[in-house]
Amino acid sequence: MNGAVPAAVKILILGGLANIVLSYALGWVLSKHRLRGPMQPHHWLLVAHTVSLQEGLLLLGVAFAMLFAKISDGLAVTGAVLLVAASLFQDFSGIVNWLRGTGDQFAEKSTGWVLASINAVLNTAGLAIATWGVANGLL
């Protein structure tokens, strides 16, 4: 690879790959449980498995987009860190809901719901930074 890869892109790539690894690990755990019983008690584990894969792909996509960003390195790193942190909160919201046997996280205002709510705030800020930087670089 020629040229330096920006720190923000490295953070997003590492976060994306970590999410994908987590997704596959959760998939193995889910398979183990599904061999022994019905799906219903493991709904949130399936959610965590699916969401971590989606979060990983999202971060990899944003890493590519950030290559076009016209933004200070510090602000780009801030946006990347916010997005990776947000993905962790989202991943663990499903895991915590599964471990605690949560039914409806919104009705129960579960710990998983709190984690997912933190995700929403961090993602909003991180995506705003990334979107502004990329739009500034492309327009």
- Condensed to tens digits (0 to 9), the pLDDT of residues 71-127 reads 999 999 999 999 999 999 999 999 999 999 999 999 999 999 999 999 999 999 999
Position 28 pLDDT exceeds 90 = yes
Task: Please report the pLDDT score of residue 1 as a whole number.
Answer: 41
Position 133 pLDDT exceeds 50 = yes
% of the chain residues with pLDDT over 90:
89
Amino acid at 100: R
Task: Please report the pLDDT score of residue 33 as a whole number.
Answer: 87
CA separation for the pair 81, 97 (Å, rounded): 24
Mean pLDDT for the chain? 95
pLDDT band with cut points at 50, 70 and 90 for residue 134 = very high
% of the chain residues with pLDDT over 70:
98
pLDDT band with cut points at 50, 70 and 90 for residue 41 = confident
Contacts of 61 (CB under 8 A, 6+ apart): none
Overall pTM surpassing 0.95 (yes/no): no
Alpha-carbon dihedral 24, 29, 34, 36, rounded to 10 degrees: 150
Domains of the chain: 7-138 (1.20.120)
